[in-house]
Structure 1
Amino acid sequence: MRPLLPTILAAMALAAAPLAAQLQLPRVPGVGGIVGNVTGTVDDTLETADRLTAREARRLLRVRDQTLARLLRQNSDVIERDVRGELARRGELLAIEASAAQIAQLEAAGFRVLGRERIEGLDIAVTRLGIQSGQSLAQAQARAAAIVPELELGADNLHFAAGTVVAASTSAPLAVSLAAAQAAPITVPIGIIDGAPGNAVPVAAIKGFAEGAPTASDHGSAVASLLRATGVRTIRVADVYGQEPAGGNALAISKALGWLSASGCKVVTISLVGPRNPLVERAIKAARERGIIIVAAVGNDGPAAPAAYPASYDGVLAITGADRKGRALIEAGRALHLDYAAPGADVYAFDAKGRSKLWRGTSFATPLAAARVAAALSNGQRWRAALDTEARDLGAKGADKVFGRGLLCGGCGKK
């Protein structure tokens, strides 16, 4: 069975082709959002893309939902829907900081302990619970919550990449206007939670958190190469996909964040999007309490989509994408808050084989913004003040819901 990440990107390319042609989007508008229907009034959520009509926004979500439903059918042996209808690892629940008495109650009700671990670097205890045969994950999750309502418990939800390749480039070398040779070196270590990069992108360390990891991926290579091109010296990569069909799950992401925290990363960039999850939320909070700045993409499900995570967790820098004309990406998703924009269209980066390609999506805006955070820290600056000074105001004057506090790294990612 093929890993879920490349499968979902390939499926999106086929499912979204008619929509992409109509909207003049790249063939894959990007997977990066939350399964679900449009909620709230579309008029209130469309201000991020004045070229996108309410009907097209709904269609963008329908394409994604249909694609994920197809992937669920194709991988039903390893994934299923949780109590909210979100995709998750099949047959498993995650209990956070569960007491012996709470576990005993669940075992008496037929749940099985599959494993116990304490997440390195974050000191979070997690118990993996198997559900009874014949029960769906949604049924088991609701039942467990009724038995121990005070226990923090959730499914092992899946997260997906928020961008994809648009076209191959004819020239091999990757360069940006903010060249590493010209810019002051960025010495603060940056961590990446994604797929692994290929050999063409040198990094300080790679650790796998999924079956078959580390495995070189195009998406992870692109993210890492953008950091290298902006002058970042030390990059550590946590591969949460490997070759696992249910990779990118909440437990893998939380363990990855713990390892990056213990490894001394001061900034972590996450170009993945999924639903709100109690374990990931707890891991994000613990990492922030240790002084780590987390930068995350808002996804590519369009402005009518439900709020995306981890970008929507408290204290996470939520990053959207803009094109080279300073317009918001019409497929850009949304978060509960928005901090900054960065280039997310016509961005050049390496694939897993070291080939320079053209990429699109909020996935690629996110590492560019993370590099500016690390640059400020490397220079001993107050990073928020430094970013606000650098950010170019776009759209409505001042901070807004389309570009946040402005565009960072505007010249980055160019040839």
Structure 2
Amino acid sequence: MTASAPVAAQLGGGLGGGLPVDLPETVGRVREAVGDIVAPVADPAGAVLRDVRALARERVRRLADFVAEHGDTVEWDEKRQPAVRGEVLLLDPDAASIETARRAGFALLEKSEIEGLGVAYARFATPSGMPLAKAVEALRKAVPDREVTADQIHFRSGRTPNAGGRQDAPSAPLPRGGTVGIIDGGIAGSGRVAAQRGFAAGAPRASDHASAIASLLAGAGTTRIYGADVYGDDPAGGNALAIARALGWMQGQGVPVVSVSLVGPANPLLARAVASARGKGMVIVAAVGNDGAAAPPAYPASYSGVLAVTGIDGAGRVLIEAGRAAHLDYAAPGADMSALVPGKGRVSLRGTSYAAPLAASRMAARLTALGNMEKASRALDAEALKGRSRTGRGVLCNICRSGL
């Protein structure tokens, strides 16, 4: 695997070719948070700011490398975000808007809706020779009464697992059980997978990242796991349409809690799919990403009603690389722990990717025990350990670290 491939990526929203970061605002956020994310040093805020800048530059480099390497299937959209090459999405299409798009040179590839969620869309090929960024703007101008978007790529928000983790005994019991869905890559090595389906070319295809997440869920006591592989072997996998379809499938399977350890920019199609799934009672838990405090808000964590989760290390400090969302609900272990991955044995983990499923496991257990969303939410808040800032309503599943 290469560092720029989706399986190894930890990208949030792209910064494009520059660094459009509000530095004074970033410095303020860093200085407010420094006590929670680093051990005391001579100039803690300065040290963290240097790390923040480095993370921002690294994200820019990785995005550019990713698009360059996969230029046959990926290109920049109008906001300089990586997206599926040569395709645009039109929401709520009708006969008139489709015909208008055709006259403007867009070829209809598909007219459908997200199964189980009722979100209608049309997928078009862009006019020959027209860059995606210009195509999005051209179609928006042609059909101003409809939402038009590129199909942006989302990237995993955790590092590829490394060998050398350890396993300790749990120090106290936790309520266990429940069902959690994973939207990520393919899952291997877990006897708790009730069903698995692919939403990309070559899927389901075993992924270390998704397999580690499934191992964490099993260790935290989740009884049943559903897996949706939105990557497969497609460089343009992880796109908004694939994630929306995965949510629809999860809804059809009756999955009550879904963990998403992927990050990307806001996308209107995915936003509608998330809202529809939530309206049908699904709890969506998402990681805030690993691009640091200077990163733009990560999605789907930033969508309204999604439970946004950050990660902490073994000392209870928020990970230095933890990204941000428009809101923050909880923190959970994201480092100094391990999981079982087929072919590699027990591996060490780091990243907010691994915090999100632990928080999801707690919600699933509470839902199973109480059978009511309102009661489960209150119980989860009561369970969350309060203390440090930048952990939302508190830390969930901290005891899980020693039992994984």
> What amino acid sits opposite 1:81 in the alignment?
W
Give the deviation of 1:353 after TM superposition. Answer: 2.9
Q: 2:261 is matched with which residue?
A: 271
Confirm whether residue 383 of structure 1 aligns to residue 371 of structure 2.
no
SS in 2 for 1:53: helix
Counterpart CA distance in 2 for 1:201 and 1:250 is 29
What SS does structure 1 have at the residue aligned with 2:343? coil
| CA displacement 1:281-314 (0-9 Å, x = unmatched) | 0100000000001000000000111100000000
Q: Which residue of 2 aligns with 1:96?
A: 91
Shift of 1:277: 0.5
Distance 1:283 1:230 in 2: 28
Output the CA distance in 1 between the equivalents of 2:187 and 2:33. 31
Distance 1:114 1:49, change over 3 A: farther
> Is the 8 Å Cα contact of residues 272 and 299 (structure 1) preserved in structure 2?
yes
Q: Equivalent residue for 1:25?
A: none
Which of 109, 112, 119 is the matching residue for 1:124? 119
Q: 1:308-365: CA deviations, max 9, x gaps?
A: 0000000000000001111110000000000000000112112243621110000000
Secondary structure in 2 aligned to 1:365?
helix
Matches of 1:260 and 1:391, distance apart in 2 = 27
Name the counterpart of 2:170: 177
Which amino acid in the other structure matches residue 177 of structure 2? I
Partner of 1:394: 387
| Residue of structure 1 equivalent to 2:44 | none
Give the 3 Å change call, closer, same or farther, for CA 176–282 of structure 1 in structure 2. farther
Pair 1:32 & 2:11 matched = yes
The alpha-carbon deviation at position 185 of structure 1 amounts to: 4.0
Aligned residues: 384
- 1:85 is aligned to 80
Give 5+ residue unaligned stretches, structure 2: 39-46
Q: How does 1:15-414 map to 2 (within 5 A)?
A: 31-36=10-15, 37-40=19-22, 41-46=25-30, 47-50=32-35, 51=38, 52-165=47-160, 167-169=162-164, 177=170, 183-187=174-178, 189-353=179-343, 355-380=345-370, 382-396=375-389, 402-414=390-402
Q: Deviations over 1:243-280 (max 9, x none)?
A: 11111011100000000011000111000000000111
Distance 2:400 2:217 in 1: 10
- Contact kept, 8 Å, 2:287 with 2:355, in 1: the verdict is yes
- Residues 198 and 353 of structure 1 are in contact (CA less than 8 Å); yes or no, is this contact kept in structure 2? no
Task: Give the Cα separation in 2 of the matches to 1:363 and 1:54.
Answer: 23
CA distance in 2, matches of 1:57, 1:6: 20
Aligned partner of residue 45 in structure 1, secondary structure: helix
Identity %: 46
The CA distance in 1 between the partners of 2:208 and 2:169, in whole Å, is 19
Determine if contact 2:161/2:209 at 8 Å carries over to the other structure: no
With normalisation by structure 1, the TM-score equals 0.88
Residues 90-139 of structure 1: CA distance to partner in whole angstroms, max 9, x if unpaired?
00011111111011111111111011222111011121111011110000
Equivalent in the alignment of 2:42: none
Residues 58 and 184 (structure 1 numbering): CA distance in 2 closer, same or farther, change over 3 Å?
Answer: closer
Report the TM-score, using the length of structure 2 for normalisation: 0.90
Distance 1:337 1:159 in 2: 19
| CA distance in structure 2 between the partners assigned to 1:178 and 1:226 by the alignment | 17
Structure 1 residue matching 2:322: 3-state secondary structure: coil
Q: CA deviation at 1:167?
A: 3.2
Following superposition, the deviation at residue 5 of structure 1 comes to 8.4
Write the distance in 2 (CA, Å) between the matches of 1:412 and 1:269.
17
Q: Report the aligned-residue RMSD.
A: 2.0
Q: Provide Cα deviations, 1:186-209, integer angstroms capped at 9, x if missing partner.
A: 13x211100011134530000000
The one-letter amino acid paired with 1:72 is: V
Q: Conserved in 1, the CA contact under 8 Å of 2:181 and 2:225?
A: yes
Q: Which runs of 5+ in 1 are unaligned?
A: 11-29, 397-401
Q: Secondary structure at the match of 2:401?
A: coil
Provide closer, same or farther for how the CA distance between residues 105 and 193 of structure 1 changes in structure 2, counting only shifts above 3 A: same
Alpha-carbon distance, 1:38 to partner: 4.3
Matched letter for residue 397 of structure 2: C
Q: Is the 8 A contact 1:32 1:298 kept in 2?
A: no
Q: Please state whether the residue corresponding to 1:353 is helix, strand or coil.
A: coil
